[in-house]
Structure 1
Amino acid sequence: MGDKYDYFKLLERARSKLPERVIRRERFEIPKADVIVEGRNTILRNFADIVSKLNRDQNHILQYLLRELGTAGVVDGRRAIFKRKLTGEEIDEKIDEYARIYVLCPECGRPDTVLVKEGRILMIECMACGAKRAISGKRVAKIQPRIDVRVGHEYDVLVEGVGGKGDGIAYIGDYTIFIPGVSRGSRVRVKIERISGKIAHGRVVR
């Protein structure tokens, strides 16, 4: 009886020395958006912290947010800058959607996943439970190849949004393209006239 009692005491003592994450599953908590509005721009000051928690490519996350929020934007160091006024709640909602689609395992709910391409299909694979599923649905964002947009070159684009001044917004790789005189959903050929960072302005080639 004494030996059995000593065994359980030793077991409890050993268990008490284990890290908390070994005893209890760590909760997956994404940092809340820390935003400030400057003029017509919204600055997400903790974008880098959110990217680190999601463990995904920052450009993939940014392109998803820009498309879903219907605006243009760029990464500036550890911050993301959106070209219209947004609330933290609006950004949080889209980040949560991104996590549900691209980060959390659809089977076990854990965030221990990676994105893999099989042919033309984007898959989410879980390192915790081994599940592997295709990502599907209208909200799936494409992982864009890195493309250098150049002044004077022409590109075929899909207008995915409309900016505050009425210009159409399209995306080429990491670049956000502003195009006057077009509507959302239009497919046009655009000639790039000027570039500043990852923001470009172009006109439709008739």
Structure 2
Amino acid sequence: MTMDIEKARFNMVEQQIRPWDVLDQGVLNLLFKVKREEFVPLAYQGLTFVDMEIPLGHGEVMLSPKLEARILQEVAVKKTDKVLEVGTGSGYMTALLAHEAMHVYSVEIIPEFKMQADQNLKAHGITNATLEIGDAACDWNRQGPYDVIILTGSVPVIPEKFKQNLTTGGRLFVVEGDAPLMEAKLITCVADGVYNTVVLFETCIAPLKNVLQPQRFVF
């Protein structure tokens, strides 16, 4: 059984993740180290390594494996980095980030998810992650500024507060837009109040709960 799981993990990396331009060997190694199946709800264990989002309940999902890996590669977390994750979910991305960062602060709006993620992280011996319950859809600066900020749900427009909470050199990963067309972006603070934005790829993921909606024209 263990061999089957490891074969499935290997296939996930080689057939889904590597072809999606995830070539950073450190990221690929991490996917073998942090066992994804230990963060997937029991009812969906059979889908752990499938190229799809996995339901968590409350209308929320785990992102697809290739998107999780691509995010990790793009934000390039360093051991000196303080990271903010908006949307803890199962805690899997939190665990991946914690292996690379100095400290991860992860905010979850659904208390049930926070409790389960706490258990998952403790089971993995992860001590450099702080989980908090709250609504961080527009801002979360309690421990800021941050070297890396990741929004695990999409936003129609990027809240300025997140950009302002970056250190110089800090990176923000965000998926911006409305379904069905959204863009994944990496925003880097190059100087105080100066930002460089790179469009990485097109995708479509569920929006953050309570995200601020822009004024829309009505005809």
Which is greater in Rg? 1
TM-score, structure 1 normalization: 0.30
The structure where helix makes up a greater share of residues is: 2
TM-score, structure 2 normalization: 0.29
